[in-house]
Amino acid sequence: MIRRPITRSWAVVLGCLSVLLLLAGYTWVSHRQHQVNPDDTTIPNWSQLYEGVKKFTQPDRKEERWIVEDSIATGRRLFFGLGLGVVFGFAIGMMMGCITPIEAFLQPPILLLAKVPQTAALAVYFVFFGTGMEMYVAMIAFGIIPALAVTVHLAIKDLPSEMLDKAYTLGASHFEVAAEVVLKQILPKFIDAVRLAIGPAIVFLIAAEMVVGDVGFGYRIRLQFKLTNMNVVYPYLVMLAFFGFALDYGLRFLRAKLCPWYQRDSK
């Protein structure tokens, strides 16, 4: 039978099994590679990986730990870029959804900008914002604003007009309808949109760091890849994955806290 439910413990066992299989498969591929070439660094074995982890967690010649300086640099860029993008994406989407002249005014550029591949537009950001913090922040923000604004805008247009008319009959002002009815109703959809925007945001950031960075995850991955130090590259990728997962989990938690009704609704 399709979609027959399984017990929780059985689901956990199956989940762990797939991860174990992945690790075992890697171990085997790496083992085969080292039989051909004992000095291989493209598919490092576990002891080589341990060396790689030590390399980026111990202080280097400049007394800097790579993991610390890369995390701080990439984290700050992402934080400010996402923050700015989320605030403006939300504000623009709300205004487009609630105020029809603004909708007509902003719709064409937003729809076009949403289609520009940010990684292809890197050069534009270098020209306008240099290669410092501003460039990263601007690129992430501009990269996610169109998608977020469109999501909010469409979510508002999807609201039944009855709900808005109803609020007016309850004595709400225009601002109250926007802030207490529209905003609360679309909040869970917006949080989901932010979850989806994190992926592209990280792509833009890593791409830019690879091209012009002097510190950060993208910079480190590109440099260590050139030296074929894959024992540093792979752990960095794993950390990026866990970082993205943690952000996503945090936002899901936030949604459950802020919109307890939404979970029930979607079930």
Query: Rounded to whole angstroms, how far apart are CA atoms 224 and 210?
Result: 11
Q: Taking CB under 8 A as the rule, does residue 169 contact other proteins?
A: yes
75 sits in which H/E element? helix 66-98
DSSP string, 129-162: HTTSHHHHHHHHHHHHHHHHHHHHHHHHHHS-HH
User: Count residues contacting other proteins (CB under 8 A)?
Assistant: 27
Nearer to other proteins, 9 or 266 (CB): 266
| 100 near other proteins, judged by CB under 8 A | no
Q: Are 198 and 82 in contact (CB under 8 A)?
A: yes
Q: Which stretch binds other proteins (CB under 8 A): 37-45, 93-101, 117-125, 257-265?
A: 257-265
User: Whose Cβ is closer to other proteins: residue 145's or residue 177's?
Assistant: 177
- Which of 176, 248 has the CB closer to other proteins? 176
Are the C-beta atoms of residues 197 and 85 closer than 8 Å to each other? yes
Q: Under the criterion CB under 8 A, does residue 262 sit at the interface with other proteins? A: yes
166 binds other proteins (CB under 8 A): yes
CA–CA dist 50, 235 (Å, integer): 10
Q: Is the Cβ of residue 25 or residue 260 nearer to other proteins in the bound state?
A: 260
Residues 175-214 vs other proteins: string with x where CB under 8 A? Answer: xx--xxx--xx-x---------------------------
Is there binding between residue 22 and other proteins (CB under 8 A)? Answer: no
Q: Is 158 in the site for other proteins (CB under 8 A)?
A: no
Is the CB of 50 or the CB of 261 nearer to other proteins? 261
d(CA 193, CA 199): 11
Please tell me the distance from the alpha carbon of residue 207 to that of residue 212, in angstroms, as a whole number.
9
Rounded to whole angstroms, how far apart are CA atoms 216 and 219? 5
Give contact residues for other proteins (rule: CB under 8 A): 160-163, 165-173, 175-176, 179-181, 184-185, 187, 259-262, 264-265
